[in-house]
Structure 1
Amino acid sequence: MKRTAGTATLLLLAGALAACSSPAPAPATSTSAPAPTITAQPGTGSNTAPPEPTADPEAATCENLLPATLVTQFEEMGWSYQQSQLFGVDAPLPDSIQCTWGDYASHSSESVQIYAWSPIDDATATAMQDALVAQGWTREVKDDVVYITAGDRSAVVDENGYGMTYKFVEGSVSYADTKQGLVLLQWPR
């Protein structure tokens, strides 16, 4: 059988395409053998997209919500935390975390520090802000950040007179027992 340059080019092209989509077939021993049948493995067909990475994002915990050095300082003072959820308008926010650090071992936890974070949608954030303002909290807006603070009505205030404060940014809300305490929250990373 006589082969032409066109036939050789077609054979090379077919071989290159087959090599891209599956392991190379064993060489044919006869020129009249039928072309090999390519069978795709499940999930590897040419019309399927490559699999997405399955690594889950890290979840917020009381240990990683704050700088490691602060967590170490709390532990060296004998403090531990109690974990709960951040409360929204009328129920805890799903997927939220609230960490109340204090000296629970000695049962004299008169002084605690509270840090919380939660994902939040726009409608829930607006309802929560409106409910807090209706209770007498103060709303402040700076750039794209909304702060809702209890101000000096809190038992503990920072050097600027801010007590318990919520910080709303697009997609999340964080909370600390002072506005200055919000700077310590490192979530999301």
Structure 2
Amino acid sequence: MNPRIASAAAGAVLLLLGLTACAASPEAAPTPRPTASAAAPKPSAAPAATPTPQAPAAEPSCEAMISAGTVDALTNAGWTAEPKEFVIGDVTLTEGLLCFWADYAVASDHGQLYGWSQISPTDAADAQASLIAGGWMREDAPEGVYVTEDPQYSMGTDEDGYGMTYLFGDGWVKFADTKQGLILIEWTP
């Protein structure tokens, strides 16, 4: 007999013996069932433990601004973030940050933009007016005011046809290279 076949047969027999040893035997004692007089466990009055939320960083950073999954995906692709000054038209937002994620080891214009900043109502109005005067389009929504570039001039759009988009909320503004990209920005002060 071939030694490989004999070895395989012996292994199969050992496996079969191991599996049958684990099977319940017919003469095994039945599991005792609780009687009516057995005390039922009492529910605990203590509240269930909940995870403690992490406090946001004191200042926005490129890594803290977007979701951890997005940071992981970008860094695993070899991308790093380069912080930029956040400017909308003539309004410089000193309370925020604009981040350009890309692979800086190669010369390319391929990357992703994410931005977040606090913004006063006056600066928000000025920034929106500047964008709209430049051909951008305004869209009111329950979550705030979207201002997006005209898709015919966009270098790239999401599946809904939106290119670079700002979302103005109550005292803050978000920015991404597509409207769908805004959902990745999780920064809250």
TM-score range, shorter chain: 0.5 to 0.7
Question: What does 1:1-189 correspond to in 2, within 5 Å?
Answer: 58-105=58-105, 107-152=106-151, 153-188=153-188
| CA deviations over 1:8-55 (Å, ceiling 9, x no partner) | xxxxxxxxxxxxxxxxxxxxxxxxxxxxxxxxxxxxxxxxxxxxxxx9
Amino acid of the residue matched to residue 75 of structure 2?
Answer: E
Distance 2:88 2:140 in 1: 20
8 Å contact from structure 1 (residues 151, 161) kept in 2? no
How much has 1:147 moved relative to structure 2? 0.3
How much has 1:151 moved relative to structure 2? 3.6
Q: Once superposed, what is the RMSD of the aligned Cα atoms?
A: 1.8
Count residues in correspondence.
134
Describe the SS at the equivalent of 2:181. Answer: helix
**Identical aligned pairs, as a percentage?**
39
How much has 1:79 moved relative to structure 2? 0.5
| CA deviations over 1:105-124 (Å, ceiling 9, x no partner) | 2x233310000001000011
Distance 1:123 1:115 in 2: 22
8 Å contact from structure 1 (residues 151, 157) kept in 2? no
Distance change in 2, residues 1:79/1:89 (3 Å)? same
Distance 1:60 1:72 in 2: 17
| CA deviations over 1:51-73 (Å, ceiling 9, x no partner) | xxxx9962110011111111111
Larger RCO: 1 or 2 (CA < 8 Å, sep 6+): 2
Q: Which runs of 4+ in 1 moved over 3 A?
A: none
Distance 1:102 1:159 in 2: 21
> TM-score when scaled to structure 1?
0.67
Distance 2:128 2:119 in 1: 12
Distance 1:175 1:144 in 2: 14
| CA deviations over 1:143-189 (Å, ceiling 9, x no partner) | 25100000412101000000000000010001000000001000116
Amino acid of the residue matched to residue 94 of structure 1?
Answer: T
Q: Structure 1 regions of 5+ residues with no counterpart?
A: 1-54
Describe the SS at the equivalent of 1:161. Answer: coil
Describe the SS at the equivalent of 1:167. Answer: strand
